[in-house]
Amino acid sequence: MNNHLDLRGRNLSRADFSNANLYEAILNGANLREANFNRAGMIYATLRRADLRGAHLCKTVLSKASMRGANLEGAFLAGAYLNLADLSYANLRKADLSDAEMYGTNLSEARLEGANLTGAKYDDSTRWPKGFYPKAAGAINENSLKAIH
């Protein structure tokens, strides 16, 4: 029996999910524009092709979330936990990813033009789009720091 919250394809623009437990929630294709997910727990959530333009996801736990092809243009992900998340083919243009954790995150084929990655942490298993230089964008490779100490 599947007891996961299933909101796929729904119009939830500007909805307030702050501090909510959305473990394994299904939000594929949902309209989540400018929705508030600040500090929500969204481990293993599926948000494939969801519209999250301008959404607030600060300090949101999105570890192991599937966000392939999601539109996060202009979204606020400062301090978000994106460890082992799939953001391949996602639109992250002008998104704020400052201080986010991105260990093992798949960002292959993602669009990162104008994204703020200042202080974002990643490791050698993080996958970036071809030709993208995370250090130049302000991200910090934690493996490099460990090698220094």
- What's the CATH number where 11 sits? 2.160.20.80
DSSP string, 35-75: -B-TT-B-TT-B-TT-B-TT-B-TT-B-TT-B-TT-B-TT-
Give per-residue pLDDT as tens, 66-96: 999 999 999 999 999 999 999 999 999 999 9
SS3 116: strand
Domain count of the fold of the chain:
1
Q: Which residues of the chain have pLDDT under 50?
A: 1, 147-149
**Residue 127 pLDDT:** 98
Q: Which tokens belong to 13? A: 């623009």
**Residue 143 pLDDT:** 85
**Residue 146 pLDDT:** 52
- Rg value, the chain, Cα: 14
**Residue 147 pLDDT:** 45
**Residue 56 pLDDT:** 98
**Residue 91 pLDDT:** 98
SS3 106: strand
